Amino acid sequence: MEQLRSTDREIYELIKLEEKRQFDKIRLIASENYVSSAVLQATGSVLTNKYSEGYAGKRYYEGQQVIDQVERLAIERAKDLFGAEHVNVQPYSGSPANVAVYFAFLNPGDTILGMALPHGGHLTHGAKVSISGKYFNAHSYSLSRETGLIDYEEIRAKALACRPKIIIAGHSAYPRIIDFERFRAIADECGALLMADMAHFAGLVAGGAHPSPVDSADVVTTTTHKSLRGPRGAMILCKERYAAAIDKAVFPGIQGGPHNNSTAAMAVAFKEAATDEFKHYASQVVENSRILAETLIGHGFTLITGGSDNHLLLVDLTSKDIGGKPAAQTLDRAGIVVNYNAVPFDPRKPTDPSGIRIGTAAVTSRGFQEKEMRQVGEWINAVISEPQNDHLISEIAEDIAVFCRDFPPPGLTLP
């Protein structure tokens, strides 16, 4: 980044600081990852200079000789990777992708049914503060109070009562796999479209470590930068019969020109995700999650649903006598980065809820396996047991920075 250093020293220094942070800390935010150098290079390429409203072969500006090829390649690779009939790779991110689906099929005031935000749904699954909850008649389903699991009978009863046009299967904080066929049956029974939001677990689907929603759902949305380990961006996969409606909803419906640099980087990430190495990665992500769950349970932590079979854990800290926010802040000072998170039926405020969410996608990318995950669990326990012990916190932060040197993440150089 020599040119950046000479043009803008401040931004250069800030990027270097962030690089050091990403190197020295154990990043357990469930939606984050480390992309490869190849993905970074495509993201930072001259494709950022080009406007290309429209779709390959039907653009509104000239000069698309290269961009059309890039976008077609990204689409073909995504179709192969997920077995999809049609893919749109233009959504800027996950929220616009979800809004595009609503724009394709709904009128203002129409009914949708998604997982409640405090139970692990996303803002765009109908939360009142989001456009999805303001413009549509949004109903939500909760998790079981007893088990923390999705209650398919409750969803069926709600769907038959409110008759949604779209049912959303997907989450941002649910530690178990979803039964997409059960959702399909419910959608069929009440005449709804089934939309699956696989943003969190798309990488696990690509790597064969999680069931795919692509056959069961009418439409599937996903970001490309979480477990899928691509650039910031999103895509919509759908049956061929919905292709025209989806494409029109993305452009000109809610977006202008696609971010071609991201499209190229997505194509690179899809190529990487089609390898055996990525399959191994995806199953290691799940295994790491299971091992961390086991270690934390061994130290008396309460895990929502009692464990994990995907890339994330949701920990209820009530029994540890600490709120999610102070816990997340103290862990960060110790070099372990998580986010505070509501747990189902949380009695505390969303701004200081009872839990933390932990994900294993990023640390698996830097090579953590069983031994390392058990050590991470020990550190989390030590910090949460003595959050006021500043000496201990500083010591752990130093140990973690040294520990991390042996696990250089993709895309980063030693700071």
Q: Taking CA 93 as the corner, what is the angle to CA 415 and CA 342, rounded to the nearest 5 degrees?
A: 80
Catalytic residue among 221, 222, 223, 224: 223
Q: State in angstroms the smallest separation of the CB of 280 from ligand DSN.
A: 24
The span from the CA of 97 to the CA of 215, in Å, is: 19
Catalytic residue among 25, 156, 226, 290: 226
Catalytic residue among 19, 24, 32, 53: 53
Q: Which residue has the tokens 């979480």?
A: 226
**Residue 204: Cβ within 10 Å count:** 27
DSSP string, 106-130: --TT-EEEEE-GGGT--GGGT-TTS
Instruction: Return the exposure string of 251-277: e unless at least 16 CB atoms fall within 10 Å of the residue's CB, then b.
Output: beebbebbbbbbbbbbbbbbbbbeeee
Active-site residue flag, 224: no
Measured between alpha carbons, how far is residue 20 from residues 12, 110, 152, 341 in Å?
Answer: 12, 47, 44, 26
Closer of 18 and 76 to ligand DSN (Cβ): 18
User: Residue 355: what are its φ and ψ, rounded to 5°?
Assistant: -125, 175
Active-site residue flag, 147: no
Closer of 36 and 341 to ligand DSN (Cβ): 341
Interacting residue ranges for ligand DSN, rule: CB under 6 A: 31, 94, 122, 172
β-partners of residue 55 are 58
Q: State in angstroms the smallest separation of the CB of 205 from ligand DSN.
A: 16
Closer of 94 and 164 to ligand DSN (Cβ): 94
Q: Directed axis angle between helix 180-190 and helix 152-162, to 10°?
A: 20
DSSP letter assigned to residue 37: H
Catalytic residue among 16, 50, 59, 232: 232
Q: Which residue has the tokens 């549509």?
A: 136
Q: State in angstroms the smallest separation of the CB of 223 from ligand DSN.
A: 7
Closer of 122 and 165 to ligand DSN (Cβ): 122
Q: State in angstroms the smallest separation of the CB of 339 from ligand DSN.
A: 7
Strand intervals (E) in 89-218:
111-115, 137-141, 166-170, 193-197
Active-site residue flag, 197: yes
Active-site residue flag, 53: yes
The span from the CA of 230 to the CA of 33, in Å, is: 9
Closer of 238 and 338 to ligand DSN (Cβ): 338
Active-site residue flag, 51: yes
Q: State in angstroms the smallest separation of the CB of 31 from ligand DSN.
A: 3
In contact, 146 and 305? CB cutoff 8 Å: no
Q: State in angstroms the smallest separation of the CB of 206 from ligand DSN.
A: 18
Helix (H, G, I), strand (E, B) or coil at 221: strand
The span from the CA of 95 to the CA of 13, in Å, is: 31
Closer of 122 and 290 to ligand DSN (Cβ): 122
The span from the CA of 155 to the CA of 178, in Å, is: 13
Catalytic residue among 71, 197, 247, 346: 197
Structure tokens at 202: 């798309």
Closer of 73 and 286 to ligand DSN (Cβ): 286
Q: State in angstroms the smallest separation of the CB of 379 from ligand DSN.
A: 22
Which residues make Cβ contacts (< 8 Å) with residue 374, sequence separation at least 6? 291, 295
Name the residues annotated as catalytic: 51, 53, 197, 223, 226, 232
